[in-house]
Amino acid sequence: MDDYSLRPAGDTALVVDFGNRIEIDLSKKVLALARRLDALHLDGVLETVPTIRSLSVYYEPLTITAAALEKKIAEILDGLRDAPAEGRRWVIPVCYDPSLAPDLHEVAERCNMSVDQLVALHSGTTYHAYMLGFLPGLAYLGDLPEKLVLPRRNAPRPRIPGGSLGMAAKMTCIFPMATPCGLHLIGRSPVALWDQHSENGALLSAGDKVRFEPITLQEFERMQRDGAAACLEAQLYH
């Protein structure tokens, strides 16, 4: 594989860059390299951090040199041409009720469709988790159908509730906690995407597949109250 570049990020990290586009094929290469490096447990390699189009590899320079790590990465990439995709499939409940979705009607109008059509199209799409970032447990999910692609809001909100479902450009995501936000809000989920007391913290991982299941406001309130959403299970895919 020769369609990548390597560059240092300080003296303790290398960045393997696969391009400058948001494409699932690039993400697959990033994630395949991360899985292979993690599985090898190389002495001196501390952590791999995938992004939408690149992989940051953190290392201990007293244990492994940058040159040795670059050589190992090149060897791994030569064998990744036919690496199969791996991950988990999730079905996450989301309430698209206007009381929890302040931008729902505006987004539907701008996309030239009814609210029901918007909900059906958004929830009927299976999304790919490109990366986690910005907030603990926040997964950037793509790709939105072209009919739903809108720029970010002109005026970001200073604070939105945790669980809010937002969308802008080609991405959609559930925000794990209260935060400022410039995305269009079209729903809310009762699922906790971040649990600081769990082993992994984040529910989702890069490479996962996610579909949203519409629920009523009454179901949302019940799941929030009873914690039923904590019983979500994922299916593995290869």
Indicate the domain borders of the chain.
5-78, 87-237
pTM, two decimals, is 0.89
- Output the six-digit token pair for 210: 């996610």
Beta partners for 152? Answer: none
- Give pLDDT, residue 141: 97
Q: What integer is the mean pLDDT of 187-202?
A: 85
The answer to whether 166 touches 184, Cβ cutoff 8 Å, is yes
Listing DSSP states for the chain in one string gives --S-EEEESTTSEEEEE--SS--HHHHHHHHHHHHHHHHHT-TTEEEEEE-SSEEEEEE-TTTS-HHHHHHHHHHHHHT-TTPPP-EEEEEEEEE--GGG-TTHHHHHHHTTS-HHHHHHHHHTS-EEEEEE-SSTT-EEEE---GGG--PPPSS-EEEE-TTEEEEETTEEEE-SS-EEE-SEEEEE----SB-TTSSSSBS--TT-EEEEEEE-HHHHHHHHHHTGGGG---EEE-
- Give pLDDT, residue 2: 65
Is the domain defined by 87-237 classed in CATH 1.10.1660.10?
A: no
Closest CA to 152 of 136, 172, 135, 138: 172
Which are the contacts of 199, defined by CB distance < 8 A and separation ≥ 6? Answer: none
Closest CA to 209 of 30, 120, 88, 86: 88
Look-up of token digits 């094929």 = 25
- Output the six-digit token pair for 221: 């309130």
- Give pLDDT, residue 218: 96
- Give pLDDT, residue 79: 79
Each residue of 161-193: pLDDT tens digit? 999 999 999 999 999 999 999 999 999 999 988
Examine the pLDDT at 196 and tell me if it is beyond 90: no
Examine the pLDDT at 20 and tell me if it is beyond 70: yes
Percentage of residues of the chain with pLDDT beyond 90: 80
Closest CA to 94 of 120, 129, 128, 130: 120
| CATH fold for domain 5-78 | Gyrase A; domain 2 (3.30.1360)
The answer to whether 137 touches 202, Cβ cutoff 8 Å, is yes
Examine the pLDDT at 145 and tell me if it is beyond 70: yes
pLDDT band of residue 66 (cuts 50, 70, 90) is very high
